[in-house]
Amino acid sequence: MAKLTVKDVDLKGKKVLVRVDFNVPLKDGVITNDNRITAALPTIKYIVEHGGRAILFSHLGRVKEEADKAGKSLAPVAADLSEKLGQEVIFPGVTRGEKLEAAIADMKDGDVLLVENTRFEDVDGKKESKNDPELGKYWASLGDGIFVNDAFGTAHRAHASNVGISANVDKAVAGFLLENEIAYIKEAVENPVRPFIAILGGSKVSDKIGVIENLLEKADKVLIGGGMTYTFFKAQGIEIGNSLVEEDKLDVAKSLLEKANGKLILPVDSKEANAFADYTEVKDTEGEAVDPGFLGLDIGPKSIAKFDQELTGAKTVVWNGPMGVFENPDFQAGTIGVMDAIVKQPGVKSIIGGGDSAAAAINLGRADKFSWISTGGGASMELLEGKELPGLAALTDK
């Protein structure tokens, strides 16, 4: 990577500002999935072990007004992190002011402090989300000129806690997680070992237009599944019943199919139901067409077999978006089938681009079979699209 990393700076005795991504799901104050906290541990431990004083910043959820703060404190995260590190994580519970400054002044080498939810600064004019220059400058002033960005999940956003701090320090460097995310995803797309196959699912073509266009240039094949299948079907005049469709994207779908030169591979059947919820009938379609009164909610068995065949011999696979409504056991066979087809390829470099695909791999017990599972859905999508990420661009060049 052409940017400095945490290994390129002297940390001993320094107050090191660190942007992490602790945007974890909470239910009644309890963390229900701590993967993002675990993913940040190598960078935090490295700073601590090298005598740095780690001052951590993270957002949690969206905060637009005072009432939104309820249940969005990072206090449960501080407790979880303390347990994982085996040491106290100092948590002043504020985003600025004397209490925070005094706690930072009292830190010793190897200490870890977590600043309260950065989005609490959005209550009064979206200072965090709109990269308020004064806020970035203030947060930068709390450290000793070193900023480590390890929050890939927010690297596609220019916020005060990443781009704002970066602009006001001597050295802004990448943490291990950010470095790995870039290495796996960007390298897979820019310098893949071939055959390189991309698999895109999810509900909307509109969410993935740029990604499909970029990957049609880079990949050997692009397999399509999920709800967006039916916009492609309808664009070809195939009957889709009551399936999800973006009427205003039919021309885009038609254009993508024309440009693809056979690289864009669609399902050949669906698992359909007579309602999205409270359905009374579920069956496989004969071919591509969905029956009147039914809607496609997963790819069918013929498509699973076809995709398995298309993936044979693949050496690089990037997957973003499930093949169906995987949360429902009746419609998860397609997603499971594609996952199993990916991971059984000998020597394959297999990458999941975050979001629902990551949730599917974790929930369906296949996470450990993939080479890399991204922690950032939106950021990985923008990398797959070939865009530059503001959080990465703001780091110091080597």
C-alpha 115/C-alpha 75 separation (Å) is 10
Alpha carbon separation from 69 to 33, 66, 271 (Å, rounded): 20, 6, 42
Alpha carbon separation from 96 to 57, 142, 241, 290 (Å, rounded): 12, 10, 55, 57
Q: Which position among 300, 334, 355, 377 bears the catalytic label?
A: 355
Residue 349 structure tokens: 């470099």
Residue 204 bears catalytic tag: yes
Q: Which position among 14, 15, 19, 36 bears the catalytic label?
A: 36
Residue 364 structure tokens: 């369906």
Residue 119 bears catalytic tag: no
Of the candidates 331, 347, 337, the one whose C-alpha atom is nearest the C-alpha of residue 308 is 337
Residues 6+ away with beta carbon under 8 Å from 344:
none
C-alpha 153/C-alpha 167 separation (Å) is 19
Residue 378 bears catalytic tag: yes
CB 351 within 8 A of CB 370: yes
Q: Which position among 126, 204, 218, 302 bears the catalytic label?
A: 204
C-alpha 98/C-alpha 90 separation (Å) is 15
DSSP bridge partners of 31? 26
C-alpha 20/C-alpha 17 separation (Å) is 10
Q: Which position among 137, 378, 386, 387 bears the catalytic label?
A: 378
Residue 313 bears catalytic tag: no
C-alpha 43/C-alpha 145 separation (Å) is 17
Residue 150 structure tokens: 């390890």
Where in the sequence numbering do the catalytic residues fall?
Answer: 36, 204, 355, 378
